[in-house]
Each structure stands twice: as C-alpha cells, then as structure tokens.
Amino acid sequence: MFFKIALSVLFCGIALATGETYEGYKIYDINARNAHDKDLLLRLSANEKYDFFDLPKVMGKPARVMIQPQDQNDFEAALNRFGLSYQIINENVGRTIAEEALQNSRVFTPKGGISFAKFNRFDEINAYLEELAVAYPSRVMVKTVGKSYEKRDMKAITITNGDGKKDKKVIFMDAGIHAREWIAPAGALYVIYQLVENFAENAHLLKDYDWVILPVVNPDGYEHTHVQARMWRKTRKPINKNCFGTDGNRNFDFHWGEIGASGMSCAETFMGETAFSEAETIVVRDMMHSLSGRAKFYLTLHSYGSYLLYPWGWTSELPETVDDLDEVAQAGAEAIKASTGGRYTVGSSTNVLYAAAGGSDDYAFAKANIPIAITMELPAGGSGFDPSPAQIEPFVSETWTGIRAMAEKVIAKY
C-alpha cells in the first residue's frame, strides 16, 4: 500500500512540475453505425470543449475524443441521447502522461547518438543532426533554415550519397507541425538514422535522389508539450490576451480559411490571422519553393490514426493525377501490412478523414508543384494517443517500412 501511495504522489509531482496535469481527463472511442451517426459526431465535434483526435468518415474506425472532467457528464448524456455507443479507453489521461514521463526520464541517451526508447527533446534532436554532419561530412549537411516565434533554430538535414552530383531530385519530408504528436518527429529521426547510419542497406534510395528533412516544424509547441501542457497542438505566438497559437496545418495559402479551419482564435484548428502568419509555416513554404523542380515527393508526418492521405483537404473532388498519388500511398500501406500486419487507410484527406483546408500537403501539391504529396498519420498508442516510450521503436520501424516503399515507388516513377 505504501508503495502505491508513494508512486501516486510521484506521478502527481511529475505532472505538476510540467504544468497542466490533465488529471481526470478521459479518452472515448465512439462507434458510428451509419452515415447518420457520422453526422451526429460531426455536430459534436463543432463543440470546442471536445478535443477530437480522430473523426474518420470510413465505417469501422471509431471516432476518438478527449473530454475534460467538467464536461464528461454532458458529453456522455449527449452520446446516450443520440444513441451512440462508446468505450472509455483511458480513464485518466493525466496519470498516463505522468507514467510515460517517468518512463521517458529513465532512458539515457549516449553521447553522439539518439535514442528510440524515449521521446527526445528539441535540443537533443538538433544536437543529433549536428553530430551526423560532423561524423559524415561527405553525405550530410545541416542548415538552420529559419527561427521559430520563440527564436529556436529550425534545422534541416540534407542527406546524399556523397557522390558530389548537384541538383539531384529530392524527397522533402517534415514532421511535428502539431506539437503534441511526438511520434511524428521520432519517425522523422528514424528515417534520418536509416539513411545516414544504415546507409549500406538504403544506398539505392540516395543514388538519384537527395533527402531533405525538417524533423520538427513547430519547436516552440513541441517544447511546450514537454514542460507545460502535454496535449498542446498549435504554435505559440500570442493571438490576444487569452489565446495562443495557430494550427500550422491550416495556415498555408491554398484555400486558406475554408472548410475545416476555424476563425476562432482559441480553437484547436485556428487558421491564423492571415495565411502564413506563422514563422514556422513560412519556413516550410520557403523550403518547398527552394526545391521547386527538384522535389518529387513531399511527405509530412502526423499522428494519429494509421492513414496515408493525399489531396485534396479542401474538397471531396480528386486531383487529375489521383492515380499517381494513390499508387504511391498504396505502396506504403501494402508494405506495412506485409511486414507487420498494420493496416493503413488510404485516400484523399476529405474523403476518408475530414476536410482541412490550408494544409501543407495541398500547398505542396498545388503551389510548389510537387507531384506526390502525402500526409502519413501514424498509429495510436495503447493509451489512446501517442505510444509509450517502450513502443516507439516498433512504431517508427513500421513507419520506415512504409516510407521506404513509397520512396521506392516515387524513384521508379520519376
């Protein structure tokens, strides 16, 4: 009994030390039986008190939502009134966060390396990139491509095979535009690790292509989730005295401000006061255009839900080249299924998940003229959102299997 009490006190201490505790928050899975149920869930998602992680349009995948304690009775009453069945998959998000913080703190990262047994802090990620540039100077270049609102250096890594050839075609990849999606930067780091430190097995991916990777698009938000509020999603630039941050994936100037984006400054999907109002999205935009003509594949990593999504996010209509987009995405899904049994849903963002105008993939495809633009939503962990530290390596290894297959398909096509 003493051990349990002491452990509980320790967990609470960790949570309090990191700001918002999320004590008593619950995560619900809600099953939709038909299109009418989907419409009911869409109505519920309009309530900004309800933090929907996933609102799939495809049947058979539950919606997932986090609810704070003071809203749980009303929320459950609404579900019962609508006749929607649900399951509480996490009874106390705060406790889960505290437990996983403790696990994360126990992992030691060796000097000159990176650990895939924990979620790394932003400075650790940047340090790893710089260490690779020193260790592999003929194949790796690291450049500060901009600064975040809070003046953190945003570093991108360019990975080559060292043959010195200029103006190769490019695969451009980013991750972490949503702060709380920690597994996304971890996935990007694993790609970097495979291409650089496991070069012999992956040399064919670098023969005719360079890879340019920005592992954390939203460093201010990412650090905020480590020290203050684990489930923070947006950037950190103040909007007014009450609201901070913009959803970077609603801030790109292609159908900006349309369906799936909010004009409410405190909303999780706030689109920003203008398109490209955020220093971080400007960096991504400028990188896209600097690679114009060379970039053939843009991949952005998110979580969660196991999706491979392509344009459009602003309409249910499909691009003329949908067959090319689908071919690449299906290659990733099939490789993952063959390797681990993991099942990814493939399709256009609006048709299989939800509308989200102003996204980076639509912009890359339409404005930067990158022929293949895909959003990869990684799977959820057992706690309902990101995986625990112990699950990171299996998750990112599976992710790499899909990315490698998609890259091989792009290289063969272009």
Interval 263-278: pLDDT, tens: 999 999 999 999 999 9
- Phi, psi for 260 (deg, rounded to 5): 85, 0
Instruction: For residues 354 and 351, give the distance between their C-alpha atoms in angstroms, rounded to a whole number.
Output: 7
User: What pLDDT band is residue 382 in, cutting at 50, 70 and 90?
Assistant: low
* Torsion sign (Cα): 44, 45, 51, 57: positive
Is residue 273 part of the annotated active site? The answer reads no
Does residue 301 register a pLDDT over 50?
yes
| Interval 17-64: pLDDT, tens | 447 899 999 999 999 999 899 999 989 998 889 999 988 888 888 999
Which residues, 6+ apart, have CB-to-CB distance to 137 below 8 Å? Answer: none
* Residue 84 CB neighbours (<10 A): 19
Q: Quick one: which of 15, 16, 18, 55 has its CA closest to 39?
A: 55
pTM, 2 dp:
0.93
> Rg for the chain (alpha carbons), in Å?
21
pLDDT of residue 298: 99
Domains of the chain plus CATH, in order, are 26-91 (3.30.70.340), 110-413 (3.40.630.10)
| Interval 100-154: pLDDT, tens | 889 888 887 766 689 999 999 999 999 999 999 999 999 999 999 999 999 999 9
Angle at 55 between CA 54 and CA 61, to 5 degrees: 85
Write down the mean pLDDT value for the chain. Answer: 93
DSSP SS3 for 62: coil
pLDDT of residue 112: 67
Q: Which residue among 100, 181, 280, 377 is the active-site one?
A: 377
Residue 229, both tokens: 């509020």
Instruction: For residues 402 and 338, give the distance between their C-alpha atoms in angstroms, rounded to a whole number.
Output: 10
DSSP SS3 for 310: strand
Does residue 339 register a pLDDT over 60?
yes
The total number of residues shown for the chain amounts to 414
Interaxial angle between packed helices 35-45 and 72-82, expressed in degrees from 0 to 180 and rounded to the nearest 10: 160
Does residue 8 register a pLDDT over 80?
no
Residue 153, both tokens: 């250096």
Does residue 4 register a pLDDT over 60?
no
Does residue 5 register a pLDDT over 70?
no
| Interval 240-250: pLDDT, tens | 999 999 999 99
